Structure 1
Amino acid sequence: MSSDPWGRVDETGTVYVRTADGEQVVGSWQAGSPEEALAYFERKYEGLVVEIGLLEKRVKTTDLSAKDAQVAIDHIREQVDAHHAVGDLDALKVRLDKLVETVEKRREERKQQRAKQSDEARHSKEALVVEAEELAQSDQWRAAGERLRALVDTWKGLPRLDRKSDDELWHRFSHARSAFSKRRKAHFASLDAQREEARKTKERLVSEAEALSGSTDWGPTAARYRELMAEWKAAGRAQREHEDDLWNRFRGAQDVFFAARSSVFAERDAEQTENLKLKEELAGEAEKILPVTDLKAARSAFRQINERWEAIGHVPRDARPKVEGRMHAVERAIQEAEETEWRRTNPEARARAEGLTGQLQDAVAKLQRQIEQARAQGNNARADKLERELEGRQALLDQALKGLQEFGG
């Protein structure tokens, strides 16, 4: 008979292991010596030790799920309970019990972690819903639409809640997006309808303006053109693809009439020549503003120059394109700088555009009052001169109104 501290082999070849509950039969050995039998079953014990050690390491250092860990523990425990190894089986049971405790502890920690993540996800989704519901009432169609799309991407990156809570929050979120889309669609449908109505109105105004372009009844026709211009402004903007063409035709018809009237009046006196000289000097002064490095200062300087420019009066028609072109080039450079600033901050750009438009509207209204006053006083020469000044100012106003409209889309 052979034995060691944890097991023995009796004379029949039966192998035993010693446990706290007494000796347990391990198996029967008939193929060799008792020492070989004990060595064989001791190796089985060492295998269990290694297996438990590996499992302990996996539980501590990997994200092995509690369920899979418990299955592995149960599998090893079955082998330990079967007593098919020689060694300190009770010590292995203790290790397995501690491992169960560790797994349960990690299970609880993960449960708490999932609860925390779920709570955080709930708060995040509730915040997204609140923001979406606020955006649903916005009239900033582009910015709000882009933000809503970003909120959807954020939502997709958050964990799901329990089905009931997740569905309720998603329903509110989806409803807010749908409400915004419906309002935006209605807004642009209304805008399209308004622009179509404006197109029809302006088509009619263009037809009348073109019919009047050959008139030689200077006073009444000029007055009617002023009325047509007022109607044009009141009509609002047509679609972008029609607006410029309609305006060019409308303005072209007026130009034909006023060019003919100017040729009849043939105002080429010394005053106009002096006006040209003064405007050329102002154009040179304006050109010194470029390049624009300080937008506020450039705008202020150009405004002051332009006020002096407008106060000077008309210049010979054949010289006007060149000298006005110089001023317009400076104005365009400043406008381009303003557009760059607008792209950075829309509200500021809108305020500047509205301010410029208001100033030009005031200036146009003032000129119109002066023209009416001159007519009332019988000073037709002054009235005609002021009307030519009104043309230039009106063109600037129309351009400013056109630019301001761009903010509203």
Structure 2
Amino acid sequence: MSSDPWGRVDETGTVYVRTADGEKVVGSWQAGSPEEALAYFERKYEGLVVEIGLLEKRVKTTDLSAKDALAAVDHLREQVDAHHAVGDLDALRARLDRLVELVDKRREERRVQRARQSDEARSAKEALVTEAEELARSDQWRAAGERLRALVDTWKGLPRLDRKSDDELWHRFSHARSAFSKRRKQHFAQLDAQREEARQIKERLVSEAEALSGSTDWGPTAARYRDLMAEWKAAGRAQREHEDDLWNRFRGAQDVFFAARGSVFAERDAEQAESLKLKEELAEEAERLLPVTDLKAARAAFRSVNERWEAIGHVPRDARPRVEGRMHAVERAIQQAEEAEWRRTNPEARARAEGLTGQLQAAVDKLRGQIEQARAQGNNAKADKLERELESRQALLDQALKGLHEFGG
């Protein structure tokens, strides 16, 4: 008979293993010595130790599912409970029990982790839905479209929720994308229609601009070009493939007209500059007639200057008020001299002035007499009133005397 701390072989070749519940039959050994029998079943034990160790490592270091882990534990426990090995089987049972506890703990941790991940995924998807619904109302077509595509990629990278929740959120998300796509399609369809309308309007404007390019009716044509430009801007943009070509034709037609007008105006400006020089010389000649001392000679000289003035062409518009103002000033001075001469030599006017002066003088003399009489009678109030009236009549008399003086009287 042979034995070791965990097993023995009796004289019949029966092999036993010692456990906490007593000895258990391991098997029968007839092929060799008892030592060989124990060694064989001890190797069986070492095999179980290795398998349990490998399972422990898988549970701790891999994502082995709890179901598969427990199935493996049950398989090993059956082998341990079958008592077909010699060794500390109770220790192996204890390790398997701890392994079950570890699997349960890991399963709970994974359940908590999955719940947390599910909550995070729900929050993330709800945030995506909210943003998508906001973007669905945006008019920033390019930026919003790119952002919605990025949201789809983000959605695909998130874990699925329970089917009902996931379907509901996806329905809202998909509906927001569809609403945005519909609005964008309508917008660009409308934009295409507007651009086609703009193209037709600008084709008409170009045709008119090209027809006007040879006009020499400078003022009205330039004004019409300004109107055409305003209509061009109001028409909006045509399709990209037409816009630049239409603009080049429109601008080219304007350039032809304004280049021709510029050439004519440059020649005209040179002529007007020469006219201005001549008229300034005439204005200076006219100003030498002032002050008027010989009215007849001044009139004749100014008539000569004015005839030469009228024979000269236009001057630049900005210089016109200044140079014409100088001539008008001389003309007004001669007219004033004529009016003064007429008043001085008009016998009817002189007679009227003398009559008015005599009447006013008599009234003044009469008032002075009335004032002296009122003062003598002690009626100062009446005297003061008459003096105020005297002041008014005296002012009129002074004015009449001045007018009479102009007649040489």
Tell me whether the two structures share a fold, i.e. TM-score over 0.5.
yes
Report whether the alignment pairs 1:155 with 2:163.
no
Aligned counterpart, 1:376 = none
| Residue 204 to residue 39, structure 1, CA distance change in 2 (3 Å) | same
Report whether the alignment pairs 1:12 with 2:6.
no
Q: What's the CA shift for 1:162?
A: 1.8
What do the CA deviations read for 1:299-355 (whole angstroms, capped 9, x no partner)?
xxxxxxxxxxxxxxxxxxxxxxxxxxxxxxxxxxxxxxxxxxxxxxxxxxxxxxxxx
What do the CA deviations read for 1:108-133 (whole angstroms, capped 9, x no partner)?
11111111111111111111111111
CA–CA separation in structure 2 for the residues paired with 1:105 and 1:73: 15
Aligned counterpart, 1:269 = 270
Aligned counterpart, 1:375 = none
Aligned counterpart, 1:234 = 234
Report whether the alignment pairs 1:174 with 2:182.
no
For the 8 Å contact 2:272–2:316, the answer to whether it is kept is: no
**What is the letter of the counterpart of residue 118 of structure 2?**
S
Rg (Cα) greater in structure:
2
CA–CA separation in structure 1 for the residues paired with 2:244 and 2:12: 113
Aligned counterpart, 1:2 = 2
Report whether the alignment pairs 1:108 with 2:108.
yes
CA–CA separation in structure 2 for the residues paired with 1:216 and 1:271: 19
Aligned counterpart, 2:367 = none
**What is the letter of the counterpart of residue 252 of structure 1?**
G
Structure 1 residues not aligned, in runs of 5+: 273-378, 384-409
Q: What's the CA shift for 1:229?
A: 2.3
Structure 2 residues not aligned, in runs of 5+: 274-313, 319-409
Q: What's the CA shift for 1:137?
A: 0.8
CA–CA separation in structure 2 for the residues paired with 1:43 and 1:146: 66
CA–CA separation in structure 2 for the residues paired with 1:70 and 1:9: 34
Q: What's the CA shift for 1:381?
A: 6.1
Superposed counterparts of 1:368-383, under 5 Å: 382=317
CA–CA separation in structure 1 for the residues paired with 2:181 and 2:159: 26
CA–CA separation in structure 2 for the residues paired with 1:189 and 1:105: 61
Aligned counterpart, 2:369 = none
Q: What's the CA shift for 1:198?
A: 0.8
Question: For 2:83, what is the secondary structure of its paired residue?
Answer: coil
Superposed counterparts of 1:169-208, under 5 Å: 169-208=169-208
Q: Which moved more, 1:36-45 or 1:197-206?
A: 36-45
Identity value in percent: 88
Question: For 1:104, what is the secondary structure of its paired residue?
Answer: helix
Aligned counterpart, 2:219 = 219
Question: For 1:177, what is the secondary structure of its paired residue?
Answer: helix
CA–CA separation in structure 2 for the residues paired with 1:252 and 1:212: 12
CA–CA separation in structure 1 for the residues paired with 2:315 and 2:171: 71
| Residue 42 to residue 380, structure 1, CA distance change in 2 (3 Å) | farther
Q: What's the CA shift for 1:8?
A: 2.3
| Residue 215 to residue 49, structure 1, CA distance change in 2 (3 Å) | closer
Q: What's the CA shift for 1:53?
A: 2.3
CA–CA separation in structure 2 for the residues paired with 1:161 and 1:187: 36
**What is the letter of the counterpart of residue 179 of structure 1?**
A
Aligned counterpart, 1:309 = none
Q: What's the CA shift for 1:268?
A: 4.3
Q: Which moved more, 1:134-143 or 1:42-51?
A: 42-51
CA–CA separation in structure 2 for the residues paired with 1:193 and 1:170: 34
Question: For 2:159, what is the secondary structure of its paired residue?
Answer: coil
Superposed counterparts of 1:82-161, under 5 Å: 82-161=82-161
Q: What's the CA shift for 1:256?
A: 2.6
**What is the letter of the counterpart of residue 187 of structure 1?**
H
TM-score relative to the length of structure 1? 0.63
Superposed counterparts of 1:273-284, under 5 Å: none
Superposed counterparts of 1:289-368, under 5 Å: none
**What is the letter of the counterpart of residue 123 of structure 2?**
H
CA–CA separation in structure 1 for the residues paired with 2:135 and 2:107: 41
| Residue 248 to residue 27, structure 1, CA distance change in 2 (3 Å) | same
CA RMSD of aligned residues (A): 2.4
**What is the letter of the counterpart of residue 224 of structure 2?**
R
Q: What's the CA shift for 1:195?
A: 1.0
Question: For 2:268, what is the secondary structure of its paired residue?
Answer: coil
What do the CA deviations read for 1:364-388 (whole angstroms, capped 9, x no partner)?
xxxxxxxxxxxxxxx99659xxxxx
Question: For 2:249, what is the secondary structure of its paired residue?
Answer: helix
**What is the letter of the counterpart of residue 145 of structure 2?**
G
Report whether the alignment pairs 1:78 with 2:66.
no
